[in-house]
Structure 1
Amino acid sequence: MDKEQLIAIISDKIKLIRVEQGYTQDQMAVIIGVSKKTLVQIEKGRILAGWTTVVAVIALFPGSSVLKAACGDSPLETALTIAHQRYEWEASRQEEWYWKPLEEKGSVVMEQHAVSGHYRISDYNTGRRFTSVDRTEAEMTLDRWT
């Protein structure tokens, strides 16, 4: 897959991604940084999304099943590889430095990010993750998952 193919694929799937995520055209346009008019043109197949829009969609909707079906299990890795022609990194445990554990129930833990203050729920058995800026919503998710 090359850049043009990825642009065509994401442009074709952008409406499905929007609907899957439960956003209106107005909301989606704000989230991905385009005008509503541009989003409508992309969704109707009149124009293709630009590269930066494609990368924004991939980065902002990493859990999208539509994206994963179109690009594989790691759409961001696909975009990084296409952009750089190769992409290499070392696994790091530094991520743990940024997260303060708040509550743990079995394999599910609620943490708060030390810099941004947002919350993360992680289920270490399933690998499932949830993030929110709203603590109440995070606590409800923690309760629902346990």
Structure 2
Amino acid sequence: MDRVGFVKKLDEKLKMIRTENDYTQDKMAEILGMSKKTLVQIEKGRSTLGWTGAVALCTIFKDSEILQMTFGGQPQDIILTLAFNGYENNYEKTMGGKVWWKDVESKGVYRIQQNLISQHYRILDGEDRRISSSFDYDYIRKRLQEI
């Protein structure tokens, strides 16, 4: 997945997220900081949220079940992976991949997992803290070997 694919998925889910939260088009447009006309055009497939709008949507509606089902968990992980090549943060604790992840490879207490929906990879330590994430499997394998 790249930024274009990410934004396209969100364009397609915008109306469902609005409906999930029981918002009118007017209210949703206000929340996202756009005109109702723009929102309608996006919902009809004639316009797009763009990267910034997609990030805003995911940030504001981070607890949306539709977003979680679309991306296999919190979309913020994918946003950071797309924004930075080979994203590494402050070793954020995860749930350990109980729902949307499969183990791919391990080395000691570290393991590579792949998201079943978005297909991106991450390295977790023995306490299920995220060490690194990327869509590039070769990069993730290299990082695992460096640990």
Runs of at least 5 residues in structure 1 that lack an aligned partner in the other structure: 93-146
Matching of residue 8 in structure 1 with residue 12 in structure 2: no
Shift of residue 7, structure 1, vs aligned partner = 0.7
Structure 1 residues 78-125: Cα deviation after superposition (integer angstroms, max 9, x where no partner): 111111122222247xxxxxxxxxxxxxxxxxxxxxxxxxxxxxxxxx
Which ranges of 4 or more aligned residues in structure 1 deviate by more than 2 Å?
A: none
> Could you say which structure has the greater relative contact order, defined with CA pairs below 8 angstroms and 6 or more residues apart?
2
Shift of residue 46, structure 1, vs aligned partner = 1.0
TM normalised by structure 1 equals 0.60
* Aligned positions of 1:1-146 closer than 5 A: 1-91=1-91
- Root mean square deviation, CA, Å: 1.2
d(CA) in 2 for partners of 1:29 and 1:86?
A: 33
Count of matched residue pairs: 92
d(CA) in 2 for partners of 1:86 and 1:57?
A: 23
In terms of fraction of residues, the more helix-rich structure is 1
1:18 is aligned with what amino acid? R
Runs of at least 5 residues in structure 2 that lack an aligned partner in the other structure: 93-147
Shift of residue 41, structure 1, vs aligned partner = 0.2
d(CA) in 2 for partners of 1:56 and 1:22?
A: 18
d(CA) in 1 for partners of 2:89 and 2:20?
A: 31
Identity of paired residues, percent? 46
